[in-house]
Amino acid sequence: MLAGGAAAAAAGAGLLTGCGTGAAPPPGRADRKPGEKVTLRFWSWVPGIAAPVDLWNKRNPDVQVHLDTIIPGGSGGYAKLHAAVHTGGAPDLAQIEYHILPAFMLDGGLLDLTDYGVEKYQHLFVPWQWRQGVFDKRVRTVPEASGPMAMFYRADLFAKWGIEVPRTWQQYRDAAAKVRKADPGAYLMAFPPANSAYQTGLAWQAGAHWFTPSGQRWRIDMTDPGSTRMCDYWDEMLHEKLVLAEQDMQSGWFAQLQRGQIVSWVGPQWGDALLMGNAAGTAGKWRVALMPQWDETHPSAANWGGSSTAVMANTQYPEEAMRFAVWLNTNLDSVNLLIKGGYGWPALANSYHRTILDRPSKFFGGQRYNEIFAAADQQIDDSWMWLPTTASTLDHLNASIAGAVNSGGKLIGALRTAQQQTVDDLHAKGLEASGPGRER
């Protein structure tokens, strides 16, 4: 995710401008003649996005949206969009994940929507998601969806083995030991060696703050107390073989879920579709609970994923593009279509009771499981921030954490390696940055 709360608003120009080539000059705004038809280009890979776009087009014959379904951002979609921003060929709108927004701010690719009155729509959105797109008190995108995290677990096996639903991370560790004793071929969870978005969520929930603006400088501290607590915990779980070191969301992992060899997953709300689609034989056996807590008196959750509908700086129709972006993410018909497609947790405020999220699920044994995610969404620390070089940081973490897990090394050492690489990345972009105790 991206810069949240007051910290986001404080991230000023000096923190998000460097020595890049920048965006091509905008072509100028077009004056529409009465009755003139407008076509907006929209790049996205959101599951099921075509359905709400078609609905908009049926209801808005004068402002049509041409959807280009592109490959996911991390698989090449962002490279394509960055190139288009630099050459002046960007679409009018694009899906951009929260943690990537600062990179497009650095490129000058995002339109300042404040000038077009976007703030009148702020009340329609989840506050912390709205703040993901606020930089230097200017609104640069329309929030779309997020991924609040909770715990999926096999209720049938928990009952069989006499395991109570863990409320704390210590109880989760105790539950892991009980699983290993009850069935030596089963594990409470698999810890993925190369899923930095996942480990970021765990650190976020533990109270970490990796990236902090300090004047016109980024301070990078990926070994702070919250990070250290998280790393020490999972080091012990791995060393004692209480969890399985295995990559998640791949065929082997899905097979183990299906066979009852992995019996819980602390994952995002959009993970429900993954379980339903890849462990169909376990229907009715799963339930959802809040994430285990470090401190039950101060409950916290984490977020994994999330996107916005950004209006690009080169659009000739900013008001029309903004109107579509707001409609896409607030109109109940549109949001319900997006939920059916599996796009994540809506940015629409109070969406749980207003949409199809508020339904019992046969797969989850009749539980209205999304009420758990609604609660988790209220427990996310919105002071977490991202960088213009976040994508590189996540790549560094994938390599360093995998190296530590595979060699039996310490996770905090992996974070320390990625920390220094992150400082170097920011310097390469012409941005001021330092690690703990370092100034440059």
30 domain-assigned? yes
Residue 117's region, left for phi above 0, alpha for psi from -120 to 50, else beta, is left
179/174 Cα distance (integer angstroms):
9
Residue 399 and residue 359 share a domain: no
Residue 427 and residue 370 share a domain: no
Nearest to 266 by CA among 350, 206, 210, 306: 206
Quote the pLDDT of residue 185.
Answer: 97
pLDDT digits (tens, 9 = 90+) for 21-70: 566 555 556 676 777 899 999 999 999 999 999 999 999 999 999 999 99
Can you give the pTM of this predicted structure?
A: 0.92
Tokens for 13? Answer: 């120009």
Quote the pLDDT of residue 2.
Answer: 35
Residue 413 and residue 278 share a domain: yes
210/290 Cα distance (integer angstroms):
24
Residue 367 and residue 243 share a domain: no
117-134 per-residue burial string, b: 16 or more CB within 10 A, e: under 16: ebeebeebbbebbbbbbb
Question: Which 3 state secondary structure label does DSSP give 20?
Answer: coil
Residues of the chain with pLDDT under 70: 1-14, 17-30, 32, 437-440
Give me the CATH number covering residue 27. 3.40.190.10
Residue 156 and residue 170 share a domain: yes
267 domain-assigned? yes
Quote the pLDDT of residue 28.
Answer: 59
Residue 291 and residue 215 share a domain: yes
Q: Among 361, 377, 393, identify where a domain stops.
A: 377
337 domain-assigned? yes
Tokens for 230? Answer: 């998280």
335/52 Cα distance (integer angstroms):
8
Q: 23 phi and psi, to 5 degrees?
A: -80, 155
Question: How many structural domains are present in the chain?
Answer: 2
Residue 289 and residue 200 share a domain: yes
438 domain-assigned? no
254 domain-assigned? yes
Residue 239 and residue 115 share a domain: no
Pair 173, 190: CB distance under 8 Å: no
Quote the pLDDT of residue 440.
Answer: 39
Residue 247's domain comprises: 151-302+384-433
Tokens for 374? Answer: 């609604």
Residue 284 and residue 312 share a domain: no
Residue 422 and residue 288 share a domain: yes
439 domain-assigned? no
Q: Among 377, 398, 416, identify where a domain stops.
A: 377
pLDDT digits (tens, 9 = 90+) for 89-127: 999 999 999 999 999 999 999 999 999 999 999 999 999
12 domain-assigned? yes
Tokens for 234? Answer: 């999972």
Which class for 343: exposed (0-12), middle (13-18), buried (19 or more C-beta within 10 A)?
buried
Q: Among 377, 399, 424, identify where a domain stops.
A: 377
Residue 46 and residue 56 share a domain: yes
Nearest to 397 by CA among 423, 429, 428, 419: 419
Give whole-number Cα distances, 387 to 12, 77, 98, 134, 422, in Å: 12, 19, 10, 13, 9
Residue 20 and residue 133 share a domain: yes
Q: 224 phi and psi, to 5 degrees?
A: -70, 175
209 domain-assigned? yes
Pair 108, 312: CB distance under 8 Å: no
H/E stretch holding 372 reads helix 370-377
